[in-house]
Amino acid sequence: MNKPSDKSSNTPAMSHAPKPRATIRDVARQAGVSIGTASRALNRTGRVSDETIALVAKAARQLGYAPDGVARSMRTRSTGVVGILVSDLSNPLYAAIITAAETAFQAAGYSLLVASTHNRQAKERSLIDIFRGRRVDGLILGACETESADMLSRLAEDIPVVALDRDFGPDCAGVHVDHYNGALKATQYLLNLGHRRIALFTPGAHLRPGRERIAGFRDAYTQMGLTPGSDLVRMERSAMEFAFSEALALLSSAPTAEAPSPTAFICLGTRIMTGVLQAIRHSGRSIPDDVSMVGVGDSDISLLVSPNITTLTWNLGAVGTAAAELLLKQLDASAPRPAPERVLITTELMLRDSCAPLHAPTAKVPRRATAQVKPRAT
C-alpha cells in the first residue's frame, strides 16, 4: 500500500515579509555616487551637475525611493509645509487665490495646508494652534475676527506670517486689495448716473476690507458735496440670509421724503450679492429698470444672472501668487530676513448691464468707466 505523498515538505513556504524600503544608500549605490552627492542631488542643494541630478533621480525612481519626511524635518528643521487660513472656503474668490498660491509653493518645493474658520473666532484660534503644532514653516493669515498686533507678535515668535488682505500693523508683510478706490469708483459711477440713495452692503468694519470700502463710499459722496444716508450702510459678515433680510427691509418699508427706498445697491461680498438679488426679485423690482446693482468679483453669479452684473474685480491669481512670494522670501535661509513688504492689488470696475441712469430706467449704460480716481497708498 502506497503512502500518500507529503507534498507540504516539498512546497516552499509563502513569505509575507515586506520588501525592504529603499534608502539613500541604495540610491547612491545604484547611481554610482556618494551618499552625500545623492542627498544633494535629491534636495537640489550644493554643487551638483544636472547630469548627476538626472542620474540620481532615475535611480530613485527605479528603486521606488521616497525620502523620510520626519527625518528630513529633524535634520533641516523644516517640514516643507506652509499653511493658509481663510474665513470661508466656499467663497469662490478664495478658491482662485489658494490655487495660485499652491502653484507657487509647489514650484518651490512646499506643500500647502489649507483651513477655514467658517467665520468663527474660536475655530480661528484652534486652527492657529493646530498649524503651530504641525510646525508649518510659514502661514498666510486671513483672519476672520480680529486684526490683532498681539496675535501677530505671538505667531511671529514661531513662524513667519503674511497677511492676506488684513492689517496687522507695519511689522507684518501682506497683500492688500485696494478696496478704498474700488468702493470710491463704484459709488462715483452710480452717483454720476443720478442715484443718491445708494445702499452699501459689506462685511463689517472690524476688518480692513470693510473699513476701506466704507471710507471710499463716504468719500465719493463728500467729493460731490453730498451726504450718504446713515441707514444705507449695512455691515455684517458675508451671510446671504442677513443680506436678504436687510435689503428686503429697505425695499419694503414705506418710503418717506427723508428716507426714500434705495435706487442702487453696492454688494461687496459674493453671498451678500446673492442675498440682495433675491430680495430685489422678492420685492417685485427688476434690474436695472427699478434698481441698479454693483457686485464684487467676476464670479459665475455675476455672469449667469440676467442682466449680467456690473462688478468690482481684481486679479485673484495675483493676490495668491504675491502672498506666496512674500512668504517664500521670508523662508529663504540663504538671504537676510527681508523687511516687511506690502503689495497693493488694484481694482477694476467691470461695466455690464445691471446699472442704468436714475431717470431713464430702460437706457443701457455705456461700457466705459466714468470716474477717474487717484490711487491711495495702503
Burial track 202-217 (b if 16+ CB lie within 10 A, e otherwise): bbeeebbbbbbbbbbb
> In this predicted structure, what is the pLDDT of residue 361?
43
pTM: 0.75
Percent of the chain scoring above 70 in pLDDT: 80
Burial class (CB in 10 A: 0-12, 13-18, 19+), 324: buried
Count the neighbouring beta carbons within 10 Å of the beta carbon of residue 368: 6
First to last CA, the chain: 102
Burial class (CB in 10 A: 0-12, 13-18, 19+), 157: exposed
Check whether 75 has a pLDDT greater than 60.
no
Distance (Å, whole) CA 239 – CA 168: 24
Q: Grid coordinates representing 141?
A: 493669515
User: Tens digits of per-residue pLDDT, 272-325?
Assistant: 999 999 999 999 999 999 999 999 988 888 888 899 999 999 999 999 999 999
> In this predicted structure, what is the pLDDT of residue 371?
38
> In this predicted structure, what is the pLDDT of residue 301?
82
- φ/ψ of 42, rounded to 5, equals -70, -30
> In this predicted structure, what is the pLDDT of residue 120?
84
User: Tens digits of per-residue pLDDT, 77-95?
Assistant: 678 899 999 988 888 889 9
Half-sphere exposure of 367 (CA within 13 A, CB side): 5
Tell which residue, 193, 209, 187, 192, has the closest CA to residue 266: 187
Distance (Å, whole) CA 147 – CA 118: 17
Check whether 354 has a pLDDT greater than 80.
yes
User: Tens digits of per-residue pLDDT, 99-158?
Assistant: 999 999 998 989 999 999 888 888 888 888 888 888 899 999 987 766 766 666 667 667
> In this predicted structure, what is the pLDDT of residue 378?
47
Q: Grid coordinates representing 207?
A: 476688518
